[in-house]
């Protein structure tokens, strides 16, 4: 392999930024001086990446002249136990080597001392740039030639091109990250103690997390204040009078040439009376052809939403799986990255990827499926950047089916939608023909329509949820003037519904549209607001806790700017301007901090002490109200408001209700043979011995009533994984390891004899085969809905 070229720069602004010396005070910590390198044979080049998985992939690509080391994320940061920002010295941050990275730094210094050149290959974003900057600051006494390289995909060509085109560290990107870090530290370290003093210990606030909590709380307020409004729809079943058996259903669309609005049963009945006696004649037959364009390839937020919609993945799981696909998997050709960098808000596609997609589309689907010019998608959302490509496969020739033997189930599912969405994004539009029939009865207009795909275009590769909707029932070939026979008039009562609670996917969408946070912060923010106890996940929806509502109320009242979405979005825009060399980071911090400090002082004086009272719950010892408290483990419980005179406490259930009292059970203690009760604890209900001298306890086993198909002896029981996810397994474990993720039905698959399980999806409920190799499913019959009063 040829020796790499000397450092070059891609942009004048980057070159200028790169000449700035890495600054920032470094706190003195133990063991930060490099050990003297032994006089051994030097390895020419050292490449430092963020993760061990990425290091393993690069080692396969670069070979023996390169040593690959992982920093395992950040290695230097603001201190944990103090603010770490010298406010009087123009907000100078004071960094220190993180306690769990001391050995990593020692190892990197020793390795650097043996090399001629060090390549800093952290991720291609602000956090990655900051990691590279901190690493350089710690290594520059061990080696002089330190270069920054970046790549958007971990493939041989991309890595070698990066090695051949190193650059200086982009100080503007580093400063943008420093500004974000200092802002978050100032808000957290100044605001959190006030919340501890006024509300409860263990609380925290943050620029982005507090705005996310506000969005969830305001949505809950909308739901609580919602008043349902009655309305009606009317459909008419009609049949042809030409001797055929063809039928159609038309719906009332207009009354007096205005959109039909039927407010109550009396209005509906009056219309039904007219329609019952009416003659139905076709007044118009309309036909129109439309083009449906493909969606853009995925960015971080749209991938998180689609993975949630299609597969029920949390944003955290989506990013974990995507990270693995990006860092490299051995798919029969050695370790290689399968997708491009997954933290991006750009829909841009590299020309070579477009060309490869074009060739694949023409060969696989035909020339008519490829547009004349490659598709280009515009940036969307406030503050969208264009630093990286969209999320796409590193090679379109690696089809999902070709990778099936090498990927885990969740990896294959995520790769499949990434691959399909990218290929579809480069394909021709679908052509849809819509036929509409209109029927006028006095002053009422009824309408029915049918859509038919004339050319599937991109839908041959990828269908959205809308595309997958079944086509309307075929309507007869009718002409203007044709007379139809009324079969039945169908009035139906409805009520308007409140806006739905946010789920993780819809919250990401709202944050993106409002410009709150960035691709790298969506998943951590949603995780933080749940672990802090501000938000609960109820059937995948995000519901604010009483504590979350209390904290949000206090912040909105006293720190409205901090938790205002426009303020947060504008701050994100200013951080972008720092990265673009348009603003100085200390000026941005100063503009924020001076009014913030004044507001903080005022709130310290004026904010009342808040007790988060659990409504309707009184202390069993003294009768005082109970309030919600935070434990040292981050969980919440009920404590008596008469503390310290009364120290009574009660656990809370997962849905923030007081834990139930002990309930009798039929179980006997395995240790003392005494009676056991069902008791609620930190992790839910369990069996506890009533003998205080024994204190034995064990988990509650919920039987499904289904026998194990594998061992034929045990019963299938409900269990919880370490992460709290319910699964079903044989009670003879570890002798029998039979397990299922879905509720077993007790019935066997008619095609392969495996267990049928229940699956509940948006499109309906099914019994499906539990075998991955078998695709058998059958829809579960549901009772018909009762017809509303007429």
Report the catalytic residues. 341
All residues at 6 or more sequence positions from 225 whose CB lies less than 8 Å from its CB, including other chains: none
Give the alpha-carbon dihedral of 498, 502, 506, 507, to 10 degrees.
140
- DSSP assignment of 418-450: HHHHHHHHTSPPEEEEEEEEEEEETTEEEEEEE
Per DSSP (E only), the strands in 496-550 are 535-538, 541-544
Do you find a cis peptide bond into 745, omega within 30 degrees of 0? no
DSSP state of 459: G
Around Cβ 550, how many Cβ atoms within 10 Å? 24
- Distance from CA of residue 768 to its chain's centroid? 27
CB distance 198 to 39 below 8 Å = no
Kindly list the distances between the CA atom of residue 51 and the CA atoms of 57, 100, 696, in Å, as whole numbers in the listed order: 10, 15, 44
The encoded tokens of residue 160 equal 């070698």
Around Cβ 169, how many Cβ atoms within 10 Å? 25
What SS3 class is residue 512? helix
The encoded tokens of residue 237 equal 């079943």
All residues at 6 or more sequence positions from 138 whose CB lies less than 8 Å from its CB, including other chains: 32, 75, 76, 97, 105, 108, 109
CB distance 716 to 732 below 8 Å = no
- Distance from CA of residue 535 to its chain's centroid? 15
CB distance 263 to 273 below 8 Å = no
> C-alpha angle with apex 636: 632 to 640, nearest 5 degrees?
95
Q: Return the closest-CA partner of residue 45 out of 89, 103, 111.
A: 111
The encoded tokens of residue 269 equal 């009945």
Around Cβ 728, how many Cβ atoms within 10 Å? 21
- How many secondary structure helices (H) and strands (E) does the chain include? 18, 35
Residue with tokens 């501000």: 534
Cα separation of 120 and 173, whole Å?
15
CB distance 490 to 236 below 8 Å = yes
């Amino acid at each position: 392999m040829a020796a790499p070229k000397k450092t070059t720069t891609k942009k004048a602004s980057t070159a200028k930024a790169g000449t700035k010396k890495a600054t920032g005070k470094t706190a003195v910590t133990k063991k930060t001086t490099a050990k003297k390198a032994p006089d051994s044979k030097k390895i020419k080049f050292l490449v430092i990446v963020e993760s061990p998985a990425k290091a393993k992939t690069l080692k396969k690509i670069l070979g023996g002249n390169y040593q690959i080391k992982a920093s395992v994320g950040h290695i230097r940061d603001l201190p944990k136990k103090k603010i770490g920002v010298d406010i009087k010295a123009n907000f100078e941050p004071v960094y220190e080597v993180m306690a769990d990275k001391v050995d990593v730094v020692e190892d990197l210094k020793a390795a650097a001392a043996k090399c001629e050149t060090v390549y800093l290959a952290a991720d291609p974003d602000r956090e990655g740039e900051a990691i590279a900057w901190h690493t350089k600051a710690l290594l520059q006494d061990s080696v002089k030639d330190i270069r920054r390289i970046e790549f958007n995909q971990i493939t041989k060509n991309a890595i070698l091109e990066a090695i051949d085109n190193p650059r200086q560290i982009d100080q503007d990107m580093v400063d943008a990250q420093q500004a974000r870090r200092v802002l978050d530290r100032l808000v957290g370290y100044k605001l959190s103690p006030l919340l501890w003093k006024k509300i409860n210990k263990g609380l925290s606030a943050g620029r982005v997390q507090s705005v996310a909590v506000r969005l969830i709380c305001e949505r809950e307020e909308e739901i609580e204040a919602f008043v349902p409004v009655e309305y009606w729809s009317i459909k008419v079943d009609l049949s042809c009078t030409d001797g055929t058996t063809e039928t159609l259903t038309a719906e009332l669309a207009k009354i007096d040439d205005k959109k039909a609005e039927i407010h109550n049963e009396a209005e509906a009945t009056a219309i039904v009376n007219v329609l019952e006696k009416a003659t139905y004649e076709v007044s118009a037959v309309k036909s129109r052809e439309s083009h449906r364009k493909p969606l853009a390839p995925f960015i971080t937020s749209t991938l998180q939403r689609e993975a949630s919609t299609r597969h029920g993945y949390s944003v955290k799981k989506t990013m974990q799986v995507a990270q693995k696909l990006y860092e490299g998997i051995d798919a029969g050709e050695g370790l290689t990255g399968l997708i491009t960098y997954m933290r991006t808000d750009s829909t841009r596609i590299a020309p070579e990827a477009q060309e490869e997609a074009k060739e694949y589309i023409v060969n696989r689907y035909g020339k008519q499926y490829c547009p004349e010019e490659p598709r280009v998608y515009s940036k969307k959302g406030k503050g969208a950047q264009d630093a990286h490509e969209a999320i796409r496969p590193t090679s379109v020739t690696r089809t999902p089916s070709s990778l099936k033997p090498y990927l885990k189930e969740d990896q294959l599912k995520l790769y499949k939608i990434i691959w399909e969405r990218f290929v579809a994004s480069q394909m021709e539009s679908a052509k849809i023909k819509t036929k509409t029939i209109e029927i006028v009865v006095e002053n009422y207009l009824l309408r029915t329509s049918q859509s038919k795909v004339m050319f599937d275009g991109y839908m041959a590769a990828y269908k959205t949820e809308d595309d997958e909707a079944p086509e309307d029932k075929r309507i007869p070939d009718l002409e203007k003037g044709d007379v139809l026979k009324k079969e039945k008039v169908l009035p139906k009562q409805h009520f308007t519904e409140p806006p739905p609670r946010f789920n993780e996917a819809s919250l990401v969408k709202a944050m993106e549209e409002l410009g709150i946070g960035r691709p790298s912060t969506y998943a951590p923010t949603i995780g933080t607001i749940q672990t802090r106890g501000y938000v609960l996940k109820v059937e995948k929806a995000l519901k604010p806790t009483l504590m979350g509502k209390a904290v949000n109320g206090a912040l909105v009242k006293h720190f409205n700017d901090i938790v205002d979405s426009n303020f947060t979005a504008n701050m994100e825009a200013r951080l972008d301007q720092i990265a673009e060399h348009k603003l100085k980071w200390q000026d941005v911090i100063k503009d924020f901090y001076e009014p913030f400090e004044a507001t903080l002082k005022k709130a310290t004086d004026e904010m009342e002490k808040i007790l988060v009272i659990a409504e309707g719950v009184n202390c069993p010892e003294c009768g005082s109200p109970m309030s919600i408290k935070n434990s040292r483990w981050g969980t919440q419980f009920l404590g008596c408001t008469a503390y310290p005179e009364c120290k009574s406490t009660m656990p809370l259930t997962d849905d923030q209700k007081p834990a139930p009292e002990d309930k009798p059970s039929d179980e006997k203690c395995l240790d003392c043979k005494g009676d056991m009760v069902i008791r609620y604890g930190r992790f839910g209900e369990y069996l506890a011995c009533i003998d205080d001298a024994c204190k034995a306890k064990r988990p509650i086993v919920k039987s499904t009533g289904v026998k194990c198909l594998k061992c034929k002896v045990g019963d299938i029981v409900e269990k919880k994984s370490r992460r709290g996810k319910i699964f079903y397994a044989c009670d003879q474990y570890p002798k029998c390891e039979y397990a299922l993720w879905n509720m077993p039905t007790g019935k066997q698959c008619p095609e392969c004899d495996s267990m049928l399980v229940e699956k509940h999806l948006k499109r309906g409920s099914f019994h499906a085969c539990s075998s991955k190799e078998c695709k058998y499913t059958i829809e579960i019959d549901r009772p018909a809905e009762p017809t509303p009063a007429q």
